[in-house]
């Protein structure tokens, strides 16, 4: 299960988001969506439309300046709503 975390991402995770969407805020919070898993259910967009949008049956992360001021909990809630565990919200060092 993908959880909120603070650590360096590994090679497998880099590979996992090679087919996906990612945005990082200046504070280091990064949202990643794995499009191999995402089925476009839209729950993330419903919970947090500032950070997520559905296009072409996939979820995409909006530019970080649109969500960087949001409470972290709202981003986490959006990530937790994904039935496919396709979203990770984390502070990445790598």
- By CB under 8 A, name the binding residues for other proteins: 1-2, 36-37, 39-43, 56-57, 80-85
Smallest gap from Cβ 9 to other proteins, in A, equals 16
Q: Which is nearer to other proteins, 14 or 93 (CB)?
A: 14
Helix (H, G, I), strand (E, B) or coil at 25: coil
CA distance 50 to 67: 6
CA distance 30 to 90: 5
Smallest gap from Cβ 69 to other proteins, in A, equals 26
Place of tokens 């880099």: 14
Q: Which is nearer to other proteins, 25 or 87 (CB)?
A: 87
Angle at 21 between CA 19 and CA 49, to 5 degrees: 145
Q: Which is nearer to other proteins, 24 or 81 (CB)?
A: 81
């Amino acid at each position: 299960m993908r959880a909120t975390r603070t650590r360096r991402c590994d090679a497998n995770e880099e590979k996992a988001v090679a087919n996906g969407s990612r945005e990082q805020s200046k504070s280091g919070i990064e949202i990643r969506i794995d499009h191999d898993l995402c089925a476009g259910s839209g729950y993330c967009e419903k919970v947090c439309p500032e950070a997520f949008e559905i296009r072409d049956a996939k979820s995409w992360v909006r530019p970080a300046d649109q969500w960087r001021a949001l409470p972290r909990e709202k981003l986490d809630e959006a990530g937790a709503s994904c039935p496919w565990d396709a979203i990770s919200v984390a502070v990445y060092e790598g």
